[in-house]
Amino acid sequence: MKRHPFILVAATVVATLALAHTMGCGAARSARSLAAEKVYVAPGELDKYYAFLSGGQSGSVFVVGIPSGRLIREIPVFEPRAAYGYAMNDNDPRRQELVATGGVWGDTHHPVLSETNGMPDGKYLWINDLANGRLARIRLDYFEADRILKLPNMQGAHGIAVVSPNTKYIVVNGEFEQPTDGLVTNPAPYTSVVSFVDPDSMQVKFQVRINGNIDIADTSKDGRYSFSTIYNLEQGKDLGSMIQYDRDAVAAIDIPAAEKAVAAGRGEVRNGVPIIDPETNPGVLTLIPVPKNPHGINVTPDGRYAIASGKLSPTVTIIDAHTLKIVAEPEVGLGPLHTTFDDRGNAFTSLFLDSQVVKWNIDKAVAGKSDYIVDRINVHYNIGHLQAVGGDHMHPAGDYLLALNKLSKDQYIPVGPDLPENQELIDISGEKMKMLSSFPTVPEPHEATFMAVSVLKPLVHQTFTPASDAVEAGKERVVRTGPHAVTVDMTLIRSAYTPDKVEVREGDQVTLKITNVETIRDMIHGFALPDHNLNIALAPGYTKTITIDAGKPGVYWYYCTNFCSALHLEMRGRMVVQPKDSTVTLPDWHAAANVQGQVVPGVPSTGAKQ
Ligand code: RUQ
Ligand code: CUA
Ligand code: CA
């Protein structure tokens, strides 16, 4: 049979197309599997880094494993949390501070790590609460906030930075201007302050007055300058007037000069803090004009340059961090917000409007060469911050970069009108950037900072060291301390509460002081009391105290909320509330007379090892 030539041609075309299709598919698949391999961390294996992410309106800090993107932990900071952290504890000064200074919620933006020799030492992490002007310190040996500070004389704690290289201060920018005299009856011009907080005492040592909405902060690597962007040099009170000038400024505070002025008593003390006015203390403040409504400021790892991002200008401004002179102003794209760095002299700037990360070479840009742009990669979408591993410290790793995007648009199916926010992990180890993975987060992703897991691991404690008010095993008791007051000293250990019965009367105020006396890592017990709005969880060594109203007459079973052993469900006890007019006599209770909590022999715990 003779074939029609047309059929032959058609068959060849189809075959070629099929081959091309297969090849294309194969290439795509291998790029996919390469990316997957880069982010895959097998169960039981450790991530290389922990990223500390600000939890935005959650008021917390998120710890995410990199490269896997696994959520390792949330560290509650400006919010109560029952499962861990310091919620439900009347005696806790952190909780008291939160309640007294704006509430048990916050808006966290910028996590910064304590440094030794310009590198994270794993001691502390600080995070701001923009809304209520607070700064929290997290101890990384416990992964728990240990101090909350309300910053006086300022509103809107926004940019924060550690003074390198050895954490002399934490710099906190007060973004929202206030009347200079602190009064509203006869308001003086509005202004604000940059606070310098002592890392150990968490006290504000001094403040420097600055005009014009101070935004993001970073410091020179030698400890000399603190840099802040100012986006409202106009000192406008409405949007239109805030975008009048072509140039706003970067404020460089000479830290030793400010210290000298403070030591000479030249600060005006308000609320116990000396405020240095740069107008009467020349040399403390230098304003460097940069285009228009700048946002991020980032110092290069080698300390040579401070780079301000234009936001409303498509440029970044490269400032010599020693002479404070502008050395270059290269164009990078639309809506530059923040910059980070690799270990090979490249900068990466987030472009909010272009939805891109742009990689550019610093030396080439400074030298005025035209080929300073190295690469661009699309991100999804509207990126705010970005951070490369170690890009905020002296020795960047040059391997991964995290893009913290404000919008995800088409990346996920809707979960209601509000779509998830998106984070993307980018491989920056080669000349070209490669998108590896994306993982959503809660609103709103702000800044990230990284620590190597190998550095962090040995620094973290196994259990809490019992505080001075801890209840000791054998010293549990129920004591009537007044006509309407009862104190309960309680201990928890697998799989019992001691005491397992508390008798009180309607109208009593019951103060519960509870200690988890376990010495085994990860052996958490809870104490939830129905109908009393009470849910406490305690890690080994932890003590919490809370006073509650006894409530209506009845029997209330307190129970353990954390599955701790095979007898976890049996780990409970009763609070018996007698009616007001009941004639039952309630005996004081002492530990020796009752069941002692103990580890039940032969009953394995939830896999915890001694
Ligand atoms: S800000 S998206 Cu609070 Cu860090 Cu720049
Ligand atoms: Cu203790 Cu469950
Ligand atoms: Ca402006």
What is the structure's pLDDT at 600? 33
Ligand 1 mutation target, pool 135, 382, 446, 449, most atoms within 8 A of CB: 446
Helices of type H across 254-297: 255-263
Q: What is the structure's pLDDT at 31?
A: 86
Q: How far is the CA of 385 from the centre of ligand 1 (A)?
A: 6
Ligand closest to CA 159: 1
pLDDT at 7: 46
> Cα dist. 457→121, 449, 461, 462, 465 in Å?
12, 16, 9, 11, 18
> Where residue 467 falls among pLDDT bands split at 50, 70, 90?
confident
Return d(Cα 175, Cα 179) in angstroms, integer.
13
Sheet holding 525-529, edge to edge: 501-505, 572-578, 554-559, 525-529, 534-538
Enumerate the β-bridge partners of residue 276.
208
Residue nearest to atom 1 of ligand 2 (CA): 525
Here the tokens at position 589 are 């209770």
pLDDT of 87 over the 80 cut: no
At residue 27 the predicted structure's pLDDT band, cuts being 50, 70 and 90, is: low
The 10s digit of each residue's pLDDT in 141-196 is: 999 999 999 999 999 999 999 999 999 999 999 999 998 777 787 777 899 999 99
More confident residue, 606 or 485: 485
Q: In the predicted model, is pLDDT for residue 70 greater than 50?
A: yes
301 CA from centroid of ligand 1 (Å): 20
546-559: pLDDT as tens digits: 999 999 999 999 99
224-241, pLDDT tens digit by residue? 999 999 999 999 999 999
Q: How far is CA 158 from the centre of its chain?
A: 13
Quick check: helix, strand or coil at residue 595? coil
The residue that leads in pLDDT, 73 or 31, is 73
Pair 326, 310: CB distance under 8 Å: no
Strands (DSSP E) found in 67-183: 71-76, 112-116, 119-129, 134-139, 144-150, 155-162, 170-176, 178-179
Going by pLDDT thresholds of 50, 70 and 90, the confidence category of residue 28 is: low
Q: What pLDDT band is residue 304 in, cutting at 50, 70 and 90?
A: very high
Question: For the residues 430-439, what does the mean pLDDT come to?
Answer: 97
Asked whether the predicted pLDDT for residue 253 surpasses 70, the reply is yes
Distance CA 148, CA 104 (A): 11
Pairwise pLDDT comparison (419 vs 181), residue with the higher score = 419
Query: Is 488 within 8 Å of 532 (Cβ atoms)?
Result: no
Question: Mind listing the pLDDT tens digit for each residue in 213-227?
Answer: 999 999 999 999 999
pLDDT of 13 reads: 46
Q: Report the amino acid identity of residue 447.
A: E
- What's the pLDDT band for 95 if we cut at 50, 70, 90? confident
- Give the tens place of pLDDT for each residue, 316-369: 999 999 999 999 999 999 999 999 999 999 999 999 999 999 999 999 999 999
Q: Report residue 6's pLDDT band, with 50, 70 and 90 as the boundaries.
A: very low
- Sequence letter at residue 112: V
Instruction: Read off the pLDDT band of 305 (50, 70, 90).
Output: very high
Residue 22: pLDDT band with limits 50, 70, 90: very low
From 112, 126, 338, the mutation candidate for ligand 1 (largest count of ligand atoms within 8 A of CB) is 338
Does the pLDDT at position 417 exceed 60? yes
Tell me if 557 CB under 6 Å of ligand 2.
no
pLDDT tens digits for 572-607? 999 999 999 988 887 666 544 444 433 333 333 333
Which atom number of ligand 2 is nearest to the Cα of residue 568?
2
Identify the CA nearest to 104 among candidates 87, 92, 126. 87
pTM: 0.90
Return mean pLDDT, the chain: 90
Q: Percentage of residues in the chain with pLDDT exceeding 70? A: 91
Q: What is the pLDDT of residue 93?
A: 85
- The distance in angstroms from the start CA to the end CA of the chain is 83
For residue 606, report the distance from its CA to the centre of ligand 2, in Å.
Answer: 10
Answer yes or no: is the C-beta of 568 below 6 A from any ligand 2 atom.
yes
Q: Which residues are near ligand 1 (CB < 6 Å)?
A: 109-110, 158, 295, 337-338, 384-385, 446-447
Q: pLDDT tens digit string along 506-547?
A: 999 999 999 999 999 999 999 999 999 999 999 999 999 999
Looking at residue 395, its pLDDT comes to 97
Residue 48 has pLDDT above 80, yes or no: yes
